[in-house]
Structure 1
Amino acid sequence: MGSLVPNVRTASPVVAGATVEGTVERRRDLDGLRGVAIALVVAFHVWAGRVSGGVDVFLVLSGFFFTGAVVRGVERRGGASAADTARRTLRRLMPSLVVVLAAILVATVVLRPYTQLGAAAAQTLASMFYGQNWYLATAELDYLSPDPSVSPLQHLWSMSVQGQFYLAILALLAGWAWLRRRGSAGRLTLLTVLAGLAALSFWYAASGTAQHQAWTYYDSIARGWELLAGAMLAVAAPWLRIPNRLRGLAAAIGLAMVLACGPLFDGANQFPGVAALWPVAAACLVIVSGIGVAARAWPNRLLAGRFCTELGALAYPLYLWHWPILIFYLGETGRANAGVVDGVVVIGASLVLAYATTRLIETPLRMPPRGRQVESPTMTGALVTATAVAVLIASLGWQVVLVANPAVPPQALDTHRYPGAAALLTGADYSPEPMRPTVFEGQADTPSPTTDGCITPNREVRVCTYGDPTAARSIALVGGSHSEHWLPALEPLAREHGFRVVSYLKEGCPVVLADQPSYAEWPFPECHEWSVEVLDRLAADPPNWVLTLSTRYRQNGTGDEVPNEYLEVWTALQDRGLNVLALRDTPRLRRDGVLYRATDCLAHRGDPDSCGLDRTDVLDPHDPAEEPAAGYPNVHRLDLSDAVCRPQRCRVVEGNVLIYRDEHHLTASYARSLAPELGRQIGAITGWW
């Protein structure tokens, strides 16, 4: 994470007016700012379940420290010494990271369901090679409040952003050094280039936050402007002079802004866009307030005090340790968040491990005390190296095992042995059989659009045809993945009764006519734009029926509801003369607001009943779409809740078939078992059979 690098003693800003060869003053107030920032990160993660802005402060400091050190080295030696700089940086960063990764792997094996080992191994490799942010962006894992369903490695995205920035800025500074030797580039040229890159990055971040926050949060390019802000201050340091009477004010305002960031902003849903200007500006104010002066103002002296600087010295290992300890604690207790007392225990354990890591690993490898035998740091280095090799072998080995034994979900199941939904609807007799798909097959048991690319992840409208492609009659399947997972039930009906299923599907996007619907965590105008185009296409080439969802789970309560935004879509479809099959959504596996995977629960001492939920927790007694649909003559309801849930309990396995492939999507196998009941209800409405 940013400037969590421990005690970068050569990475302090140049004193304004000092020559290149002059001494570089240590900015202890920035060490203290790092301590304040890590305290905010940990406290907000543990007790508030939200982002504090501390990471953004770290990124600014990281760009400032690292760029300043390399630039001064170029001016002293004439070259960037990229290889030496990279080696020193890795020597500071990797030992602690390796130890924490090893501990997380061991804890995952001991405490977590074995179904999570594959993801843990993949994320361990991604973190070790500084690609965790792209892993998370690709998976679109939302960085929201921590809970047991969140990866204990998720926080390492910022480490990856930092590592990627270091490589990029080293390459840039090496090019600048080459030009400088030829007398064609000075600091002003470098500053201009950095400013241009920062402006482009900020524009990209602001646009991305408004369009696709889940990706942008982890995007290195979107985060680049925060690091470049610090880099620009490091390059411009010789020219940064503010009146002494304003220095204290700047530092006080900056520190106050750092402390206020967490309560004022929902960083997980707003950063690194325009809102991130707040923590970035706060860090810049504190940095600028202390450049070029020996006697600093009282806020700087406060930050330079022992408490803040000692905490700053532990910032890097404390950041590494606090998140996995919190996540494993929540996983073992089944709680959504830590209370006051439990939070103190989590923070205390994190501080102890951070201190031990600093004392036993970082310090011996970085600067062994005088008089210590050479064998001591060598032995520490050998142990860390052996640990790194073990982590790599274990992670790569498990990935090889998974690749060599791919999960192949069943394409068809014997309905006598695996009746699925028929066990609920008709009371079909069946003997106990090994569950299919298995806990390893479940995640791969997806509908066709997931594998053939017919559900779009972006703005593009993709139209695909399933069932009988030559049929005159058609049903348009419209919406997100919760519409998509009904396709395996529609396909056999389409082939049997002679109609086409035309899909208009987008990931995470029920059809909506608002940039930020009431149920959305952040603005998603891309979904709105996609929905408008889909509605226009449906009007231009109308199907006989449009099948889409009619309900959604209540985010802050039990049961399900019909959001007002769904009614707007029904109105739009009615205005276009389109008939609607409004399908009640399936329940989601959620306890105390925390989603969990059926496969993980079953693999972790659970059974079909204990891994399920009371029906009253996930579904209202009656279909909530019944009353609003009565006002729309074009809207006809479908409700298959009784084919998924028992009268009192919604289990995760019925008729020997796994119902959920994750927290809330049906397996294709169970969806196929729903075809008879879905067909009965559609036939009664359409009169096609």
Structure 2
Amino acid sequence: MLTVLTERPLPSAVPRTAPTVRDDLSGLRGLAVALVVLFHVWAGSASAGLDVLLVLFGFYCGRRLLEGFTAGYSFDALRSEFSWSARRLLPALVVVVAASGVATLLLQPRTRWETFADHSLSTFAFYQNWQLVNSAGAYAPAGEAVSPLQHLWAISVLGQFFLAGLVVAGLIAVVAPRRRRRAVFVAVVALAAVASFVYAVASHRTDQATAFYDSFARAWEPLAGVLAAAVALRVNWPRWLRAAAGAVGLTAIVAVGFFVDGAEQYPGPLAAIPVVGTVLIVLGAANLLDAERLPWPSRVLQSVPLLSLGTMAYALYLWHWPVLIFWLTHSDEDRAGLSDGIVVVVVAVALAFLTQRLVERSLRAAPNRARHGHAPTMSLVWTSVLLTVAIVVALGSAGWRQYTNTIRANGADLLKLSAADYPGARALLDGVPVPKLPVRPSVLEASDDLPASIVDECISDFGNAALIKCTYGDPRASRTIAVAGGSHSEHWLPALNRLGQRHGFKVVTYLKMGCPLNTDEVPRVSVSNNPYPGCREWTDTTMASLVEDRPDFVFMTTTRPRPTAPGDFVPENYLGIWDTLAAHDISILGIRDTPWMYRDGMVFSPVDCLAEGGDPEGCGLPRSQALGDYNPTLDYLDRYPNIAPLDLSDAVCGPDVCRAVEGNVLVYHDAHHLTSTYVNTLADEMARQLSEATGWW
């Protein structure tokens, strides 16, 4: 399958008018994987390297499929292609996933084992990219909390593309006349490429985070390589034009990563820069029998370092990311510096070299050895070992998933916890005694201890700009509190729902993940800082709906933490929202934001810390770092008399420390969201403050 990383000689029956193995493209593979590694390690961004590999994959795959039409397709031929690609792809993949599994068990907290289990299973099934799409997570740069298998989404895309290519080729071989099969195939590819590009541009504008992993949005890149394979057969350019094409292509590929962050811009229209650059290099040296006539860019790509990297490109791509992630986990850093980055690169290259020599080359040569009468003993041993390892990893991952599901099923009793045994916030507010009991929710239950709006799908995810309204509290009440904004408004919903039922008001949700109501023209995701155009569209729709619905109060956050400095503040982009609500005489319940767990400018998860054996105080944060001396919203009350400030900081943090656990109840389920169980324990304090703000009871 991944002939993008190592060419396979064409069938002997195919007439050859030019060399079938192009060293310049092997060198281009090496350059591409070097760009991927260097940008991941030191820039924390996506270069053009992966896009180059996608196009090269399409070129090699397309060339073989086109030649197959010439030689005549049969079931045996298609099966041979599939078998060869499986031998090329799976052994190294199994080795890296298994090694990453061992490192995950040794280095990462139990709270991250589930993500590894999910990613390992989806990797072996070649659908990891769709798993990432469904998780509504934007591309995350390397960090100690990021999955060591996140980069394998690209392998899933290529696997799906390869299988689709075989299916299309087989269908055309069945239904089209033999002399017209190539033309039909090229026409189908051209139409698919255009459709995919249009879809990529549209999806990039509406939801770039999802489009990044979308197979349909990515398909135009390898399809461009297939078209290049079809065109290359007819290239007869003069030498100066070949040199110009190669120079432009090489410059575009190397330079674009310094000006365009692929994590934010690909696979949208700017991805055409590395794609066209790759196609120019492919065509610039096509059909040249005499190596001395190669244009100078192709001779540069034939240099020994690039050819060496090209030989181990696949293995290096597999290894570099987990090595980087586990180094960051070990060093407790969020970025690699110069010296430790060099160590990461050297280790990844060494592992890739060993994998290519001992695993890939050995198994790839097995059929040839068998055909010449040699007993492929080592190959059989390797195959047996790798098959066993793959089964163990898959069963272990499935078993852990089942275990965590069982733990979560047992978490159904969280709403029935004894107030005496699990006082939660009441231990802070009322000083009630706290018996020694296991923390609830446990570290494995925490990720599912969420507001009902998540289960009910009453919050728009990152890829959905539509407004979704749901009603909680007392649906028959005439008084309404609208809970509006992002997840930091949402996580107070359990207490609001309980109080609405108790005191006779309904709670209507106007929520979108990662999108507090703000006036930014180009909002950004808070932690990753990626552009979030869907937030702008959703905010406009929501504000219009709030003005029309006229709730009694809009419940929303009024502050944010300072990620690089102590304390919290009122963002300027909130004020325009307040102006609009004030102009329409709509009152605001302004809740001070929850302390975010920032340490040295990086977010950390108290749950992970506890899973690694930390204690509640050590896994918390000094209050002085998370919060100012007073609620900064108070500075704006003269300007905005329609705001009733709410501050539950004393129900979350002690006088000196915001601890990970209070009153035997886990406070946070990640770095900055409260568990629903803990929010329920502070309902009485919220009731007191709401009573003062609304006068309803």
| TM band (smaller chain) | over 0.9
Stretch moving more, 360-369 or 651-660: 360-369
CA distance in 2, matches of 1:99, 1:624: 53
The aligned counterpart of 1:627 is 635
Residues 552, 563 of structure 1: 8 Å contact kept? yes
Q: Residue 23 of structure 1: CA displacement?
A: 5.9
Does 1:108 pair with 2:113?
no
State the Cα deviation string for residues 59-112 of structure 1 (Å, max 9, x = none). Answer: 011111111112112211245733221111111000000011111111111111
Q: 1:120 is paired with a residue of what secondary structure?
A: helix
Q: How does 1:141-160 map to 2 (within 5 A)?
A: 141-160=137-156
Q: Residue 185 of structure 1: CA displacement?
A: 4.2
Which of residues 384, 397, 400 is equivalent to 1:398?
400
CA distance in 1, matches of 2:689, 2:300: 71
RMSD in angstroms over aligned alpha carbons?
Answer: 2.2
Residues 149, 595 of structure 1: 8 Å contact kept? no
Q: Structure 1 pair 528/604, CA: closer, same or farther in 2 (3 Å)?
A: same
Does 1:441 pair with 2:445?
yes
Q: Residue 328 of structure 1: CA displacement?
A: 0.8
Q: How does 1:662-681 map to 2 (within 5 A)?
A: 662-681=670-689
Q: Structure 1 pair 61/655, CA: closer, same or farther in 2 (3 Å)?
A: same
Identity score, percent = 42
Q: How does 1:206-285 map to 2 (within 5 A)?
A: 206-285=201-280
Q: Residue 303 of structure 1: CA displacement?
A: 0.5
CA distance in 1, matches of 2:436, 2:492: 26
Q: Structure 1 pair 390/149, CA: closer, same or farther in 2 (3 Å)?
A: same
- Residue 338 of structure 1 aligns to which amino acid in structure 2? A
Q: Structure 1 pair 556/164, CA: closer, same or farther in 2 (3 Å)?
A: farther
Which of residues 522, 533, 545 is equivalent to 1:537?
545
Q: How does 1:615-654 map to 2 (within 5 A)?
A: 615-654=623-662
Q: 1:411 is paired with a residue of what secondary structure?
A: helix
Q: 1:362 is paired with a residue of what secondary structure?
A: helix
The aligned counterpart of 2:420 is 416
CA distance in 2, matches of 1:233, 1:194: 11
- Residue 270 of structure 1 aligns to which amino acid in structure 2? Q
Does 1:592 pair with 2:600?
yes
Does 1:359 pair with 2:357?
yes
Q: 2:416 is paired with a residue of what secondary structure?
A: coil
Q: Residue 11 of structure 1: CA displacement?
A: 6.6
Q: Residue 381 of structure 1: CA displacement?
A: 1.8
Q: Residue 404 of structure 1: CA displacement?
A: 4.4
CA distance in 1, matches of 2:618, 2:647: 25
State the Cα deviation string for residues 540-567 of structure 1 (Å, max 9, x = none). Answer: 2211111111122334444333222211
State the Cα deviation string for residues 415-452 of structure 1 (Å, max 9, x = none). Answer: 22212112222222222221111111111111111112
Q: 1:478 is paired with a residue of what secondary structure?
A: strand
CA distance in 2, matches of 1:3, 1:634: 65
Q: Structure 1 pair 242/534, CA: closer, same or farther in 2 (3 Å)?
A: same
Which of residues 364, 375, 378 is equivalent to 2:377?
375
The runs of 5 or more residues in structure 1 that have no matched partner are: none
The runs of 5 or more residues in structure 2 that have no matched partner are: none
Q: 1:581 is paired with a residue of what secondary structure?
A: strand
Q: 1:523 is paired with a residue of what secondary structure?
A: coil
- Residue 83 of structure 1 aligns to which amino acid in structure 2? R
Which of residues 460, 478, 484 is equivalent to 1:478?
484
Q: Structure 1 pair 558/45, CA: closer, same or farther in 2 (3 Å)?
A: farther
- Residue 316 of structure 1 aligns to which amino acid in structure 2? Y
Residues 42, 335 of structure 2: 8 Å contact kept? yes
Q: Structure 1 pair 557/246, CA: closer, same or farther in 2 (3 Å)?
A: farther
Residues 523, 536 of structure 2: 8 Å contact kept? no
Residues 27, 306 of structure 2: 8 Å contact kept? yes
The aligned counterpart of 1:491 is 497
CA distance in 2, matches of 1:429, 1:313: 65
Q: 2:613 is paired with a residue of what secondary structure?
A: coil
Instruction: Return the TM-score normalized by structure 2.
Output: 0.93
CA distance in 2, matches of 1:594, 1:142: 18
Q: Residue 499 of structure 1: CA displacement?
A: 1.0
Q: Structure 1 pair 102/174, CA: closer, same or farther in 2 (3 Å)?
A: same
Residues 488, 671 of structure 1: 8 Å contact kept? yes
Q: 1:490 is paired with a residue of what secondary structure?
A: helix
Q: Residue 146 of structure 1: CA displacement?
A: 0.7
Q: Residue 508 of structure 1: CA displacement?
A: 2.3
State the Cα deviation string for residues 511-570 of structure 1 (Å, max 9, x = none). Answer: 234441266633333222222222222222211111111122334444333222211211
Q: Residue 54 of structure 1: CA displacement?
A: 0.7
CA distance in 2, matches of 1:434, 1:67: 59
CA distance in 2, matches of 1:393, 1:470: 50
The aligned counterpart of 1:192 is 187
State the Cα deviation string for residues 23-68 of structure 1 (Å, max 9, x = none). Answer: 6531110100110111111111111211112111110111111111
Residues 591, 645 of structure 2: 8 Å contact kept? yes
Which of residues 542, 567, 571 is equivalent to 2:575?
567
CA distance in 2, matches of 1:563, 1:3: 51
